[in-house]
Amino acid sequence: MGRLPRIAGKEMVKLLERLGFRVARIHGSHHFMERGDQRTTVPVHGSRDLKIGTLRKILRDVGITPTEFENLWKT
């Protein structure tokens, strides 16, 4: 596994929507995403990239390994 790709919050929202998540609500710049009983929060601050710790937390919340994320992002 190499380094995780750095992506912006709005790109993460689009990726999660492709995986079946939906935006449950938006409060300020935070998008609350859900799919069944899985939930996560994605901060969307313009075109700024997500911090690596925030990205890893989102991946843990949705049950995706970093390697799976890299493969999803490339396609």
CA–CA dist 54, 69 (Å, integer): 14
DSSP string, 41-64: EEE--TTPBPPHHHHHHHHHHHT-
The 10s digit of each residue's pLDDT in 43-52 is: 999 999 999 9
Which pLDDT value is given to residue 53? 94
54: pLDDT confidence band, cut at 50, 70 and 90? very high
The type of residue at 53 is G
Distance set, CA 24 to CA 2, 10, 38, 60, 64 (Å): 32, 15, 11, 19, 20
The model carries a pTM of 0.92
Superfamily of domain 9-70: Hypothetical protein. (3.30.920.30)
